[in-house]
Amino acid sequence: MRLPLIVTVPAGRLLMLLATAVGVAEAAVGQAPPSLSDAISLTSGDVWSEQSTPAVLGTPASDPVLNQSEIAAVEPIADDGVLSLGGDAACNSCNGGGGGGLGSFYNRCGCDTPLFPYLTGPGACDNWCVGPHWNVEVDGMALRRTGVDWTPIVDLVGTAPSLLDQFNYGPGGRIFATAYNDSDYGVQVGYEGINDYNATALFPQGADLRSFDYETTFNSIELNILRRTTAPTKLFAGFRYVQVDEDFTDRFVDGKSVPPPANPPDVLAFVDTSNAFKLENRMIGFQLGALRDAWALNKWLTIEPMGNGGVYYNNFKRENLQDTTTTIVTGDDTGPPVVDGSTSVNYTQFGTSQNFSDITFIGEVGITGVFRFNQCLALRGGYQALVMDGVGEGIDAYLQPGLNGSTVLYHGARFGLEYQR
């Protein structure tokens, strides 16, 4: 048997509750999207001025002060035996609220003060419950790596090279995504990397060829904590993992030929060798950095510098693979009987692996120019440099045993798009 739930509320108190709920709802619903002039200010030199921070980014940097008189306690109100909750149905229907007021499980829009704070995005398209404030940067990169010193190799081979190639610029990508809560604290996840660095040295030796192939890659992923404030300069801190792989191969190719027909047939042996060093610099550590949101040149164009540095533990792995390929070529046997020539190949490999550890320093600086089409979308372009000290290089591993830390510099241009809401 169902019993109706009956809650009695004094009439004066009920009117006061309804008036408070309607007032708060009208304030939230009537919130207008920020204009571009409000979001970009030239007075403070920052894109986001102090006046626009609460509207665009959520709450200001300082701790918010709540007026207790604006927060009304809401109690269940009985209507014909059915339990209902207070709140404006039109306001609370946003984001799947279903018009159920404070009782709606999916209502985060903040139409009522006690709920999740209302965050308005930077564009008119975001005049709704957007949750965290997002900033996403996607860039293409073309970075140049420290060149190869081929002098020790030339001295080792003892003949003049026909080609000495350098790494030059390698294509890569960069993507950073930052989410800010209503107190402007943000979590940032970022990746950048280049996987196409190649350098070659060729030494012809008659019909034979000796070559040195050098390949390297660079990949980094990081997690940072930062806070968006009205101050010109922001600090951030986090963890970063960087991996630099280096492959250096000394390859000798024996010039092959087919012996002429004979009886008995001639047999020739050709030996190709490969001596490869494969290195993995696996660096993990803590970094500190700073960035300036913007130096505003005008309403549309801003300059944004940044820098960071950290100390890392380098878990270094070194592998040496020695391959030998023996090719046996047998000429035609003129007989009798006549027998066609044949070829056979024998392959062997020998390898060793070692692990070392060391401390590595990584520092990075960059400057970016940002042209804003509107409050949500911007075009980016800039220059960055990254230096690593204590990194094992492939050519050093070929010439010397163990881990011999070197300094490697990456620098070049980047360009892309930025989106925020």
Query: Pairing between strand 185-205 and 133-145?
Result: unpaired
Peptide bond preceding 337 in cis form (omega within 30 of 0): yes
Residue 104 backbone phi and psi in degrees, to 5? -70, 125
Rounded to whole angstroms, what are the CA distances from 367 to 23, 169, 237, 384, 389?
47, 19, 19, 6, 22
Q: Could you tell me which residues come within 8 angstroms of residue 64 by beta carbon, excluding any fewer than 6 positions away? A: none
CATH architecture of 133-250+277-323+350-420: Beta Barrel (2.40)
Beta strands in 18-131 (DSSP E): 77-79, 82-84
Q: Which residue has the tokens 């060391």?
A: 358
| Tens place of pLDDT per residue across the chain (421 aa) | 444 433 344 445 444 444 444 454 444 444 443 333 333 333 333 333 333 333 333 333 344 444 444 434 444 444 444 333 344 444 444 444 444 443 333 333 444 443 444 455 555 445 445 566 788 999 999 999 999 999 999 999 999 999 999 998 999 999 999 998 877 889 999 999 999 899 999 999 999 999 999 999 999 999 999 988 878 888 999 999 999 999 999 999 999 999 999 888 899 999 999 999 999 999 999 999 998 866 777 878 889 999 999 999 999 999 999 999 999 999 888 888 888 889 999 999 999 999 999 999 999 999 999 998 887 899 999 999 999 999 999 999 999 988 888 999 999 999 999 998 7
Please tell me the predicted confidence (pLDDT) of residue 49. Answer: 33
Each domain of the chain, given as residue ranges in start order, spans 11-65+76-119, 133-250+277-323+350-420
Q: What is the CA radius of gyration of the chain?
A: 34
Is 123:376 a contact under the CB 8 Å cutoff?
A: yes
Q: Contact, 171 vs 146, CB < 8 A?
A: no
Q: pTM of whole model > 0.85? A: no
